[in-house]
Amino acid sequence: MIKPHGSDALNALYVSSSDQRAALNREAADLPSITLSSAAAANAVMLGAGYFNPLSGYMTRADALSVGEKLQTADGLFWPVPILNLLEDASGIEPGSRIALRDPNVEGQPVLAIQTVNGVDEFTPDEIDSLAEQIFATGDADHPGVATFKAQGRFAVHGPIEVLNFSYFENDFPDTFRTAQSIRDEFAERGWHKVVAFQTRNPMHRAHEELCKMALKDTGADGVLIHMLLGKLKPGDIPADVRDAAIRKMVEAYFPENSCMITGYGFDMLYAGPREAVLHAVFRQNAGCSYLIVGRDHAGVGDYYGPFDAQTIFDEQVPDDALDIEIYRADHTAYSKKLERVVMMRDVPDHTKDDFVLLSGTKVREMLGNGIAPPPEFSRPEVAEILMNYYQQKA
């Protein structure tokens, strides 16, 4: 199986010993505490789950600026997106102290982790603006990722953390949330050595289904990891529980047995396009995957990115030796009326637009909201039924 990024063994920051966790929770009761932003809490969950191997905690200002400019930390570790604990006010937090990090997403704000504070760094407003431009390729405040990033504050509390739980993800998604190590363990149990990862924050329609099957065949992989984001999304995106149910129904009905694993990870969507695609590759390598499918407008939003920017970044900004995981590059996929199957559009140059079943996301949502199933060439009827129920209950 493929090695983790940056180390020979996975360094998950979750404290697995129940005795140690109990002792740390007792310690936390007497520590000064801060309530994290949702973004910093998601970073803690990803660190705890081993997805952000080999990081030991939150980054310094120097690390973040280096990652923004060069996609590497100050000491040279390849990394695409700063992993920060940003605050609006860090007064009273002293280097060398220990602080309890409280979860903003769980009622009562329980302690999520304990951080040993190596230091507190202040970004200038210009540095925050520059980082936003580098991460999101725009400074537009209407971009959901930019708005979230700039709202967190300018003080970076850096240092290692010890993670005590996985926030709401384990309780809300007990059958889906998985750590990087548990995914690796199941690959081993299944006898899978080569795995293709499919990233999604949306339900999967026929094109997504067939793309996974194409990648499985083309790479000669043993299976597909359908790995869905379970954290915060922008308004209008379909909630994780609905998406989970739709994907499970599709896999149960249309994938061969033991060809697919359905799992999820606890992170908030960045909508950072190319940079987020590289982050997706890093943590799929940590989960043991050999390939990541990167398709059209991967991790994008609106018109901020070109349709294949998330592929070209691997050619233009990712050094050849930076990652072991490989990218499976997908074109736009659609159902061909001529061939009566889903194809990558680049593979059928003789087709015109009228030869495909093409529906915009807006049109599909409109149909589902009106109780009209999209054509079966676009969406499996079992999936459409789950989504119609969601949109009609929402109306």
Residues 274, 294: Cα–Cα separation, whole Å: 10
Secondary structure letter of residue 355 according to DSSP: G
Which residue has tokens 């599709």?
250
Give the residue numbers annotated as catalytic, written as ranges.
Answer: 201-202
Determine the residue type at 212: C
Whole-angstrom Cα distance, residue 392 to residue 387?
Answer: 9
CA angle at 275 for the pair 103 and 81, rounded to the nearest 5°: 45
Cβ contacts of 130 within 8 Å, gap of 6 or more: 68
Answer whether 225's CB lies under 8 Å from 197's CB.
Answer: yes
Of the candidates 108, 115, 103, 1, the residue with the CA atom closest to the CA atom of residue 55: 115
Cα 143 from chain centroid?
A: 18
Q: Which of 250, 239, 203, 230 is nearest to 394 (CA)?
A: 239
